[in-house]
Amino acid sequence: MTPTGAAADTLAAPRRLGRRPGPDTTRADLLVAARRLFSEAGYERASVRAIARAAGVDPALVYRFFGSKEGLLRAAIQLPVDPDAIFDAIDKNPGDEGRALVRRVLQLWSAPAVREHITVLLRTAVSHEEARAALRDVLTDQLVRRLESHLAAADAHLRAALVATQLVGLAMTRYVIGIDPVSTATDEQLVEAMGPSVQRYLTGELA
């Protein structure tokens, strides 16, 4: 049974007002539900009411925690990992940054939860202009600009964006579309095949 508005109020009230039997997971529950519904139904079609219902809480809590539907979207599509946990692979492997970065990214993606999250991001992003803009901001702020800060070159911003083209293409062909043998290769095969290309974007001659 799906709770209607009134039933959802009843469900949500203890979380907001009553004693808490354990850690309050409302915010996390809303993010999980939002990711699923944005991905399945697209950003525009997934209503705040439906997301709140899937999380078992009152829709008002969406506005309380996230301000707006767009705020919920922006929270839901945050990257599931700390970018610096990716990019310290660059700092720690001078001269071999490209292979180290591809290896670190593939290691992170090997966790099913991370892979699922990335797939959801890409699916949500292509579903609607507002979602696309949100993913653009996340990728620009959390990947391109953070990567840029680990590079010394004057054209670091261009280099970081070029790396993004390769990593987004790798995610799409390995996990979302599934192009053989990129989808079936081992991590190390891809590290050897793509690492030097990423190295060129990071430190090589570009023009």
Nearer to its own copies, 26 or 166 (CB): 166
Residues 2 to 41: which contact its own copies by CB under 8 A? 41
The alpha carbon torsion through 55, 61, 64, 66 (nearest 10 deg) reads: 20
Residue 55 Cβ vs its own copies, minimum distance, rounded to whole Å: 22
Check residue 1 for interaction with its own copies (CB under 8 A): no
Check residue 110 for interaction with its own copies (CB under 8 A): no
Residue 2 Cβ vs its own copies, minimum distance, rounded to whole Å: 19
- Tokens 């999250």 sit on residue: 117
Burial class (CB in 10 A: 0-12, 13-18, 19+), 156: middle
Q: How far apart are CA 193 and CA 173, in angstroms?
A: 15
Give the count of residues interacting with its own copies (CB under 8 A). 46
> How many CA atoms lie within 13 Å of 17's alpha carbon, on the beta-carbon side?
6
Residue 92 Cβ vs its own copies, minimum distance, rounded to whole Å: 23
Q: Where are the alpha helices (DSSP H) in 18-82?
A: 26-41, 48-55, 60-66, 69-76
**CA distances for 151 relative to 52, 84, 91, 148, 204, angstroms:** 42, 13, 9, 5, 12
Q: Using CB under 8 A, which of 122, 147, 151, 202 touches its own copies?
A: 122
Please give the structure tokens belonging to residue 138.
Answer: 């996340």
Residue 82 Cβ vs its own copies, minimum distance, rounded to whole Å: 20
Please check whether residue 127 is in contact with residue 105, taking contact to mean a CB–CB distance below 8 angstroms.
no
131-170 mask for its own copies (x: CB under 8 A)?
A: -x--xx--xx---x------------xx--xx-xxxxxxx
Q: Using CB under 8 A, which of 65, 156, 176, 187 touches its own copies?
A: 176
Contact region with its own copies (CB under 8 A), list: 9-17, 61-69, 105-113, 122-130: 122-130
Q: How far apart are CA 189 and CA 180, in angstroms?
A: 13
Please check whether residue 123 is in contact with residue 39, taking contact to mean a CB–CB distance below 8 angstroms.
yes
Q: Using CB under 8 A, which of 15, 173, 187, 203 touches its own copies?
A: 173
Check residue 206 for interaction with its own copies (CB under 8 A): yes
Binding site for its own copies (CB under 8 A): 41-42, 119, 122-123, 125-127, 132, 135-136, 139-140, 144, 157-158, 161-162, 164-170, 172-174, 176-182, 185, 192-194, 196-197, 200-201, 204, 206-207
